Amino acid sequence: MPRTVLRFHGRIAGFGTGSGVRLVVGMWPRSPLGSFADVMVERADGHRILLAPSDAVAEFVGATYVFDEVRIVPVAYSRIGREITVTAGPLSARFTVGTISPLGRLLRLVPRGIATRPGWLRLIDPVARVLVPGARTAGSAGQGRREYYGVTSARAITGITATWDGDDLGALERLHPPVRFGFGSAPASPHIVEVVTTIVEQG
């Protein structure tokens, strides 16, 4: 049966805050939807929000993951040195990227051409669950689709400043409990990873 293969090239940053709000920021310079960024938010009470920059992104991401609320708002990011700034509707965040983490050094042992292949990611998914609790490399993307996370590099996030509707979200914390948007969470330790996300749609 013919398949459609969609690949998203970019970075994902995941971290918690002292207020209990947990954030996963996707920055995608190359994708089937063009260049865009989106933010997935889970509040301390478990309410899940998608901040998407367009109807097309909201429709695609909303069909792939699970949210209680979807907002279409301007989403932008920029990087100067080791600081990344993200604005998305009510959210304003700036976080500092550190050096390559032990996880990142481990990932570098796998050649990039292999690290992003769905077959490899399907094979190592059980290992990834043990090495990085909450993380997955393969799973369901909804509507009969399969999704694969090919992470090729990882750096620690060392500090944040973030507000929601002007209210301070607090200091940097672990991403705990794991977020519940899809089949897996980002690492509990605050990280930004380079990733190729592959979604395979059955024809």
Give pLDDT, residue 203: 58
The three state secondary structure string of the chain is CCEEEEEEEEEEEEEEECCCCEEEEEEEEECCCCCEEEEEEECCCCCEEEEECCHHHHHHHHHHCCCCEEEECCEEEEEECCEEEEEECCEEEEEEEEEECHHHHHHCCCCHHHHCCHHHHHHHHHHHHHHCCCCCCEEEEECCEEEEEEEEEEEEEEEEEEEECCEECCCEECCCCCCCCCCCCCCCCCEEEEEEEEEEEEC
Question: Could you read off the pLDDT of 94-106 as tens digits, one per residue?
Answer: 999 999 998 889 8
Instruction: Calculate mean pLDDT across residues 6-28.
Output: 97
Q: Using CB atoms within 10 A of its CB, is residue 159 exposed (0-12), middle (13-18) or buried (19+)? A: middle
Mean pLDDT of the chain, nearest integer: 93
Give pLDDT, residue 55: 97
Give pLDDT, residue 14: 96
Q: Please determine, for residue 1, whether its predicted confidence score (pLDDT) is greater than 50.
A: no
Instruction: Calculate mean pLDDT across residues 146-168.
Output: 96
Q: Please determine, for residue 202, whether its predicted confidence score (pLDDT) is greater than 80.
A: no
Q: Which domains does the chain have, with CATH numbers?
A: 3-202 (2.40.400)
% of the chain at pLDDT higher than 70:
99
Q: Please determine, for residue 184, whether its predicted confidence score (pLDDT) is greater than 70.
A: yes
Which has more pLDDT, 130 or 22?
A: 22
